[in-house]
Every structure is written in C-alpha cells, then in structure tokens.
Amino acid sequence: MSTQAWSREELVRAEALARGLSSAAPVFAVRAPGRVNLIGEHTDYSGLPVLPIAIDRSTVAVVSARSDRAIQLANADPAYPARSFALAPEIPPYPPGDWANYVKAAVQGVLTHFSARGIPIDRFLGATFVIDGRVPAAAGLSSSAALTVASALGLMAVNGLELSPREAAAMVARSEWYVGTMAGGMDQAVSLMARQDHAVLIEFNPLRATEVPMPAGAAVVVADSLEVADKSGRVREEYNRRVVECSLAARILGRAFGIDGATILGDIVNQLGNWRADDIVQTLTAIIPERFTGGIAQAAEFLEIPEPELRSALLGEGAARSTLDESRPLECLRRARHVLSETERVHRAVKALSEGRLDEMGGLMDESHRSLRDDFEVSTERLDRMVECARRAGAYGARLTGAGFGGCMIALADAAKSPAILAALERDYYATLAPDAAARALHATMRAGPGASLIRLR
Ligand code: GLA
C-alpha cells in the first residue's frame, strides 16, 4: 500500500490520530476526499453522467479491529460527540442529523454487500475509529460521502476485505438512502475513483469512470456561499422531490416511447440511443400538462396505473417511505428539460475539456447554472450573485455546484485570473454579508486531487 495519494499534512494528521489508539491490533489509516462537480448536476440519480473532481480537503480516519462487535467512534472535532453501536443485520439509525449516521450507512453497506456474498455478519470484527474530517461540512462539498467512504474502507481493512475502487463505489453509492436522501452515486464514486489533475466522467448502470485531464493553466475556483444547505431538513425534502419529479417524467416518457419498465431518465436515453434533449422535451410537452397540480393521484391517472402502486414505486415502502408535499404541483416537464439538456452539456464538456477549449467549457457551466436556476429551481439569490460576480471578474464560466439551496459556487478561469476572482468575491459578496464572512468562508483555487486510499500505519 502506498502513501502516494497522501499529502504530508494528511500523514501527520493520521499519525496524531493513531496516538489515540492503544490497541495491539494493526492500525490502518484512510483518507477520503470531498468533491466539487464541474458539470452534470442533479443527473446522477437519473442514471446520467456527472463530471466532478476530488478536492484536496479530506477526511482522515485511523482504525483498528476490536475483539467485540462494537463500532466505536471518536471525532477530533468536539462538535461531533463520541458514538458506539453494534454490528447487526439491520442497524437502526440515530435521530436525523446525527453525524454518525454516515458511518452507520457505510457499515450497513459493507455488511449487506459481503453477507450477500457469503461472509456472514457474525464473522465481522468491530472497529475503533478516530476521525478527523477537514472537508467543510454543509457546504455541498460531500463531507458526508468522505466520511462514509473512509468508514467503509476502514471496516473492510480491519476485517481483511478488499474491493476495487469501482466495486467499493458501487457498494456505497446508495449509502445516503440510509439517512433518507434519495441521492445518486456521484459523491462516493469520485471520492473513490478520482485521479490527481483529472476530472472524472462518471457514468452509471453499470458504474464506470473515465479520466479527463484538466488542461494546464485552468484554475478551478470554489467559494462557499455560507448559506447552509441543511441536508436533514428542508433541503432533503426538496432534493427528494426532484428525484420523484424526474422519475415521473421517465415513466411518462417510457409509456410514450414504449420503453417497458423505465423508471429513470437514463433508461429512456439508453434505449433511444440517438437522442436530442429538445426532441424528448417536445414529446413530453405534447403529452403532459405544464405541471401536475393533483399530485401522485393525478399522475397515476395519467399513467393509468393504480395510485398506491405508483406511490410506493416513487416514495418507497413502510418506514423507508419518504414524504412529499402534494399540495405543491409536481414539475416534471421543466425538471426533465434540465436533466436532459445537462446530460448533453456533460458530453460536450468532456470534449471541450479534453481539447483544452476552456471558453466553451465556461459557456456550458453558465448554461448549466441558468438551467439549475430556472428549470430545476435549486439556486438561491446568493448563489446567483456569486456566479455573476465570478463572471464579471473574468471567469470563463461559473455555476452552483452540488445539490444547491446554498453551498458552493464553482468557477473556471485562467490560473492568472483566479486571484482577481477571489478578490472580487471578497469585495462584492462576502463583505456585503458580514465583516468576518470572508475569513469564515472557504474560497480558494483548487487542484483536482487523488481518490481515497488506505495504508497500514503499524
Ligand atoms: C448531492 C447528492 C449527489 C448529487 C448532487 C446533485 O450532492 O449527494 O448524489 O445528486 O447532490 O448533483
């Protein structure tokens, strides 16, 4: 196992954490990075491609085996209290918002994966983890995925189990479903499969990654809006709502095109082979109302299937059923227009980036932002302001990145221009929020970093 992916600073952090582990068992250290997405937003849960990079902020954890079946968690940040839980076939989550739910999600994922492959859960050893997360939380940089990935790799290591990065990514892809978010697999996949100085085109069903070199001289500027996207509350509801709206659009298109069993927009695109977003949207426009004001009941009538059937297909069953405010209309048309046009943009972006056409890449990012703002309705007034500010200061393009509703903005620029963009953000955005806002907010030029890695410390 090599320390190649590790920065000096991460190794020092790991050594410091390991001093808190007295166990005689082998001690492993794992690093898992956060991510920013260059383009391909809100497409992953439709099974459509994304193009993120890993960032140089990571979660570092040290871990060693226990003789009992407990998972013991300590966190270097006192905001996250110690936790302990037992390995079990069905691990009950902590109340919503508890940090350790992301570890539970990982543990559940590992146990389910390996027990389905003949390794019974009672053969697993417990583990003691000491965790130090440095991906800013609640900023849309996937601090939760970094924690989940680190936990999964750690638990596997102490049990002598290994998977390729791709297999591990597929295993933890749906981990956020454990905390009630119907998220796609982008965050975990890039955390595991990223490569230094490369963006990663991630495609789904089956999961695969293609590296796209970042052009020399291109700078990725990332800036936190300081608007907190609280994933356990309103934002989760809004997110899940988009998942439902997209799935509904896919089912309707499936019926229109005679594609049996289509449940996500990716099913439509894959079956059609040769397609254009405009044409599909036109088909949709011709058959569905602008929006469904009568909720799932109206959509079921439209699809001519029983309402309870559609309801459980879209929202899940029993305790895992997610809630949906049906007094608000379902916006299938505009959501599909975003996802399909965004998918075209991802493919064009891969070409533009590989051929070093940063201007074109920037234009695609601008279009992506407009589509997320107008059709997907996940931007905020503040994110719009930041994006404008970065553009005025000379970026090739800028957009919100991540789920939206707050979190971060990303801009693409010539390396020579990034200091001016950061300065403009300080002057025209942060200074208007609070005198100390710039000091509190992550805003920096970021280099595409390597994916997760595990080493044995002693
Ligand atoms: C969150 C989810 C991802 C993805 C993005 C939006 O980050 O965790 O799976 O859906 O939102 O692109």
Q: Is the per-residue pLDDT at 319 higher than 90?
A: no
Q: Which tens digits make up the pLDDT trace of 296-318?
A: 999 999 999 999 999 999 998 88
C-alpha 71 chain-centroid distance: 25
Q: Are strands 70-75 and 127-133 parallel, antiparallel or unpaired?
A: parallel
Is 359 tagged catalytic?
A: no
Nearest atom in ligand 1 to 186's CA: 9
Distance of CA 327 from the midpoint of ligand 1 (Å):
25
Q: Is the per-residue pLDDT at 142 higher than 70?
A: yes
pLDDT at site 320: 76
* CATH (one of 3.40.50.720, 3.60.9.10, 3.30.70.890, 3.40.50.300) for 220-231+356-446: 3.30.70.890
**By percentage, how much of the chain surpasses pLDDT 70?**
100
Q: Is the per-residue pLDDT at 410 higher than 90?
A: yes
* CATH (one of 1.10.10.10, 1.10.3720.10, 2.40.10.10, 1.20.1440.340) for 235-334: 1.20.1440.340
pLDDT at site 234: 84
Structural contact between residues 271 and 53, judged by C-beta atoms closer than 8 angstroms? no
Nearest atom in ligand 1 to 183's CA: 9
Average pLDDT value for residue range 194-215: 97
Average pLDDT value for residue range 391-416: 97
Q: What Rg, from alpha-carbon coordinates, does the chain have?
A: 22
pLDDT at site 416: 97
Structural contact between residues 91 and 115, judged by C-beta atoms closer than 8 angstroms? no
pLDDT at site 1: 58
DSSP state of 62: E
Domain assignments of the chain as residue spans, ordered by start:
8-213+448-456, 220-231+356-446, 235-334
Distance of CA 181 from the midpoint of ligand 1 (Å):
10
Its pTM stands at 0.96
Q: Dihedral of the CA atoms 116, 176, 144, 202 (nearest 10)?
A: 80
The number of beta carbons lying within 10 Å of the beta carbon of residue 68 is 10
Q: Which tens digits make up the pLDDT trace of 58-73?
A: 999 999 999 999 999 9
Given the residues 187, 267, 366, 375, the one annotated as active site: 187
Q: Which tens digits make up the pLDDT trace of 13-34?
A: 999 999 989 888 999 999 999 9
Confidence of residue 175 (pLDDT cuts 50, 70, 90): confident
Distance of CA 402 from the midpoint of ligand 1 (Å):
6
Where does residue 402 fall: left (phi above 0), alpha (psi -120 to 50 degrees), or beta otherwise? left
pLDDT at site 7: 96
Per-residue burial over 227-244, b if 16 or more Cβ lie within 10 Å, else e, is: bebebeeebbebbbbbbb
Q: For ligand 1, pick from 186, 230, 345 the residue to mutate: most ligand atoms within 8 Å of CB.
A: 186
Asked which of 130-139, 231-240, 380-389 is least confident by mean pLDDT, the reply is 231-240
- In words, the CATH class of domain 8-213+448-456 is alpha beta
pLDDT at site 180: 86
Q: Is the per-residue pLDDT at 176 higher than 90?
A: no
The number of beta carbons lying within 10 Å of the beta carbon of residue 431 is 12
Asked which of 136-140, 219-223, 251-255, 324-328 is least confident by mean pLDDT, the reply is 136-140
Closest-CA residue, ligand 1 atom 10, reads: 42
